[in-house]
Structure 1
């Protein structure tokens, strides 16, 4: 009878070394704050859509001549248009600060879930948003990597919410810049109306993008909380 063939030695690979400073922490609080502020961005966008529509209507009416009533409407429309811009700026700045704090925490968690699943270093989670031209696609790459790393094991990765949010937001951003330049260069009521309608398109897209951004924040936060609360194997150590 032949003796059993020896099994070749197969060394057990060491556990992956986590990146320095990476530890599991719940993103729920920051996620809730980011979602609320994105809701304020949505409200500001809807108000801006109303102001854009009024500006476009007044510009159209000015083509037939100016009277006292129309002059008052024009002043009111200009005031609402300017107020909408201020509201959008304030809500955007506040949202960016909280959103980046949330994304940083989500990125740290994602490094624990999947240490080798990120195409960019940790600092790019924030720095990518401030790179000229590059900020049109680099932040999406960061968010996609965090999203993929946070999907529960065995679940199907669906990137549609991230891609839809990013696509609409970039189109809105580019259209808004074009509308602002067109508005500043406008010399006639017709040109003002064209700029206002383009801005209406931009603000409407931004409103939809804000809704999708809320979906991304809420869903990504839930995925990470699920992995924090019910992890495979040993329970995680919260920091």
Structure 2
């Protein structure tokens, strides 16, 4: 009879979802959204330099709209392109975040604080959209790399996002394109502040995606 003790089998590595493709898609869409929003800012400067036509603002009240100038018509196209870019960016970023969140749960072995529904609704529900998305991103990092400091780019990204969100002329302002054109003629600096914050948030978002993806890939190895 052999007295040899069979050593315990080594623990298997966590089964993580592949994150590289989703991360590249998210980064590419963030770059696209930032670029289109920067183009939007350029057109707002062009409108401000050209000045309001003698016929007044495009929306003249009472349901009356004058014909657009060629520059105003171009701005409508730029805004439409920006809307498409934002939708693509939202789908890509939330898709990446959902996979990163699932991996974080696998790495930590405990359920996340935020219910899965908030990964999607946390961006649009009033009040909670001021901190839920950042909280989800921070939790992903904490569960993926316990004890490691949250990357600074997360706070930079969220601060810039909030400026663009709450500026009154940003992503959720609800203003029509003709109303934004009128503001470009009279108050273009406010538009540019919002645009700069939105572009900055897109750039910082690239670093967020790269940082959290790298953390998970490192711990998976």
Shift of 1:192: 4.4
Which residue pairs with 2:197 in the alignment? 205
1:170 equivalent to 2:175? Answer no
The residue correspondences of 1:1-239 to structure 2 (distance < 5 A) are 23-59=15-51, 62=53, 75-116=69-110, 118-151=112-145, 156-175=148-167, 176-177=169-170, 181=175, 192-228=184-220, 230=221
CA RMSD of aligned residues (A): 2.8
Cα distance change of structure 1 residues 159 and 49 upon mapping to structure 2, 3 Å threshold: same
Shift of 1:32: 0.5
Which residue pairs with 2:11 in the alignment? none
After superposition, what is the alpha-carbon deviation per residue over 1:142-180, rounded to whole angstroms, capped at 9, x for unaligned?
1110022222x56x3134211110110111122224976
Which residue pairs with 2:58 in the alignment? none
TM-score (norm 1): 0.71
Asked if the contact 1:53–1:197 (Cα under 8 Å) also holds between the matched residues in 2, the reply is no
Shift of 1:49: 1.2
Asked if the contact 1:179–1:198 (Cα under 8 Å) also holds between the matched residues in 2, the reply is no
Which has the larger Rg? 1
After superposition, what is the alpha-carbon deviation per residue over 1:82-140, rounded to whole angstroms, capped at 9, x for unaligned?
12211110011011112111111100000012234732123322232232332222111
Cα distance change of structure 1 residues 42 and 186 upon mapping to structure 2, 3 Å threshold: closer
- Structure 2 gaps, min length 5: 1-13, 56-67
TM-score (norm 2): 0.76
Asked if the contact 1:44–1:87 (Cα under 8 Å) also holds between the matched residues in 2, the reply is yes
- The structure with the largest helix share of the pair is 1
Measured in 2, the distance between the counterparts of 1:87 and 1:136 equals 26
